[in-house]
A and B are shown apart, each in its own frame.
Chain A
Amino acid sequence: MIDNTLIFPVIVHLFTAIVLLFFWRKTVAQRIISIAGSLIAMLLAVRLFTMVWNDGIRTMQAAGWDAPFGITFVADVFSSMMVLLTAFSGVAVSTYSATGVARGRMLYGYFPIFHLLLMGLNGAFLTGDIFNLYVWFEVIIIASFVFMTLGGRKAQIEGAVKYMAMNILASTFFLTGIAILYGITGTLNMADLSLKIGALENRKLVDITAIFFIIGFGIKSAVFPLYFWLPSSYHTPPSAVAAVFGGLLTKVGIYALFRMFTLIFIPDDFLTTLLVVLAIFTIITGTFGAVIKNNIRRVFSYLIVCHIGFMVGGLGMYSEIALTGALLYLFHDIMVKTNIFLIAGLIRKLRGTMNMDKLGGLYKEYPLLSLVIALVLFSLVGVPPLSGFWPKIYLFEAGFIDAQYALLAAIIVGSFATLYVIAKLWAKVFWKDQPELPDGESLRDEFKPLNRFRKSLLVAPIVFLAAITLYIGLAAENITAVAQHIAHEMKDVSPYIEAVLGPNVSP
Chain B
Amino acid sequence: MLFAILAGFIVSLLYIPFGRFLKGRLAVLASLLPIGLFTYFAAFIPDIQDGASIAFHQPWVPSLGINFDFQLDGLSLLFSLLITGIGSLVFLYAAAYLKGHPYLDRFYAYLSLFMAAMLGVVLADNVLLLFIFWELTSISSFFLIGFNNDNADSRKSALVALGVTGGGGFLLMAGLILMGHLSGSYSIQEMIATNEYLKGHALYGLILLLVFVGAFTKSAQFPFHFWLPGAMKAPTPISAYLHSATMVKAGVYLLARLYPVLGGTDYWTYPLIIIGGITMLYGAFHSIFRTDLKGILAYSTISALGILVFLIGIGTPQSLLAAAVFILVHALYKAALFLTTGVIDHETGTRDVTQLSGLRKVLFPLAIAGLLAALSSAGLPFTFGFIGKDLVYEATLHTDGILPLVLTGLAVVTNIFLLYAGLLAGLKPFAGRLPERYSAIHLPHALMWAPPLLLAILGIAFGAFPALADASLLNPAATAMINEAIDSPLKIWHGFNTVLLLSGITLALGVALYLARKPSAHGLAWIERFNPLSPKHLIASLTRAVHRFAIRYTRTLHNGFLRVYLLRIIIFAVLLLAFRLFSGGAIRLIPDQLSPVGIYEIAVVGILVAAIYLAVTSTSRLTAVVATSVIGYGMCLLFVFYSAPDLAMTQFTIDTLTVVLFVLVLFRLPSFLNLANRGTRIRDWLVASAFGAVIALIGIQVLNQPIDDTISKFYGDNAYVLAKGKNVVNVILVDFRGFDTMFEIVVLSIAAIGVFSLLKLRLKASEKE
Contacts and interface: CB of A to CB of B under 8 A. Distances in A.
Asked if A pairs with B, the answer is yes
Interface stretch (B48-56, B164-172, B291-299, B491-499): B164-172
Interface string B381-423: 0000000000000000000000000000000000000000000
A22 interface: no
A186 B711 contact: yes
B735 to A, nearest CB: 6
Nearest to B553: A288
Interface string A140-157: 001101100111110000
A465 interface: no
Interface in B549-587: 549-551, 553-554, 557-558, 560, 562, 565-566, 568-569, 572-573, 576-577, 580-581, 583-585
A432 B150 contact: yes
Contacts of B750: 113, 116, 139, 142-143, 146
Given A152-B761, A393-B64, 13 more contacts: A69-B715, A107-B761, A108-B756, A120-B743, A136-B743, A169-B566, A187-B708, A231-B558, A274-B576, A393-B66, A396-B173, A476-B66, A477-B60
B710 A186 contact: yes
B740 A132 contact: yes
Nearest to B203: A400
B711 A412 contact: no
Contacts of A225: 557, 568-569, 572
A63 to B, nearest CB: 6
24 contacts: A68-B711, A102-B763, A103-B767, A109-B753, A131-B740, A138-B747, A142-B750, A152-B758, A183-B705, A184-B702, A186-B711, A187-B710, A202-B701, A204-B584, A204-B701, A228-B558, A228-B565, A288-B549, A348-B768, A397-B180, A423-B163, A431-B146, A432-B155, A484-B63
B751 A142 contact: yes
A66 B38 CA distance: 70
A187 B711 contact: yes
B677 interface: no
Given A146-B750, A207-B580, A239 B562 contact: no
Interface in A429-479: 430-433, 444, 446, 476-477
B551 A292 contact: yes
A165 interface: yes
Contact of B714 (A69, A151, A431): A69
Nearest to B737: A71
Given A107-B761, A116-B746, A384 B170 contact: no
A397 B177 contact: yes
B270 interface: no
- Interface of A (DSSP majority class): helix
A108 to B, nearest CB: 4
Nearest to B581: A208
Interface stretch (B128-136, B336-344, B458-466, B655-663): B128-136
Interface of B: 16, 59-64, 66, 106, 128, 131-132, 135-136, 139, 142, 146, 149-150, 152, 155-156, 158-159, 162-163, 166-167, 170-171, 173-174, 177-178, 180-181, 203, 547, 549-551, 553-554, 557-558, 560, 562, 565-566, 568-569, 572-573, 576-577, 580-581, 583-585, 695, 698, 701-703, 705, 707-712, 714-715, 735-740, 743-744, 746-747, 749-751, 753-754, 756-758, 760-764, 767-769
Interface string A340-365: 00000100110010000000000110
Interface stretch (A33-41, A50-58, A413-421): A413-421
Interface string A297-338: 000001000000000000000000000000000000000000
B198 to A, nearest CB: 13
Contact of B702 (A180, A207, A389): A180
B157 to A, nearest CB: 10
Contacts of A433: 150
A392 B173 contact: yes
B268 to A, nearest CB: 20
Nearest to B65: A393
A476 B757 contact: no
A362 B573 CA distance: 46
Contact of B761 (A63, A108, A131, A238): A108
Contact of B174 (A69, A292, A396): A396
A378 B577 CA distance: 41
Interface of A: 14, 21, 62-63, 65, 68-71, 100-105, 107-109, 112-113, 116, 119-120, 123, 127, 131-132, 135-136, 138-139, 142-143, 145-146, 149-153, 161-162, 165-166, 169, 173, 176, 180, 183-188, 196, 202, 204-205, 207-208, 211, 214-215, 219, 225-226, 228-229, 231-232, 238-240, 270, 274, 285, 287-289, 291-292, 302, 345, 348-349, 352, 363-364, 367-368, 371, 378, 383-385, 389-390, 392-394, 396-397, 400-401, 408, 412, 415-416, 419-420, 423-424, 427, 430-433, 444, 446, 476-477, 480-481, 484
Nearest to A419: B166
A110 to B, nearest CB: 9
A71 B580 contact: no
Nearest to A238: B769
Contacts of A396: 173-174, 177-178
Nearest to A69: B714
Given A149-B754, A211-B580, A226-B572, A135 B763 contact: no
B591 to A, nearest CB: 14
A112 B701 contact: no
A150 B761 contact: yes
Interface of B is mostly: helix
B61 A104 contact: no
Nearest to A413: B170
A116 to B, nearest CB: 6
A480 B63 contact: yes
A240 B128 CA distance: 37
B763 A105 contact: yes
Contacts of A232: 558, 560, 565
A105 B61 contact: no
Given A109-B756, A384-B135, A477-B62, A431 B149 contact: yes
Contacts of B558: 228, 231-232, 289
A108 B760 contact: yes
Nearest to B148: A431
Contacts of A70: 736-737
Contact of B562 (A71, A113, A161, A481): A161
Given A132-B739, A427-B159, A109 B769 contact: no
Given A389-B132, A416-B167, A166 B177 contact: no
**Which of A103, A107, A292 has the largest number of chain B CB atoms within 10 A?**
A292
Nearest to B563: A165
Contact of A412 (B170, B549, B566, B749): B170
Contact of B764 (A104, A152, A161, A415): A104
A358 to B, nearest CB: 14
Contact of A186 (B62, B162, B707, B767): B707
B538 to A, nearest CB: 18
A165 B566 contact: yes
A185 B708 contact: yes
B557 A123 contact: no
Contact of B569 (A116, A169, A208): A169
Contacts of A288: 549-550, 553-554
A420 B178 CA distance: 24
A348 B715 CA distance: 56
Nearest to A173: B573
A374 B568 CA distance: 38
Nearest to A141: B747
Contacts of B62: 477
A63 B736 contact: yes
Contacts of A352: 768
Contacts of A348: 768-769
Contacts of A173: 573
A152 B757 CA distance: 9
A136 B740 CA distance: 8
A431 B572 contact: no
Given A69-B714, A480-B61, A62 B738 contact: yes
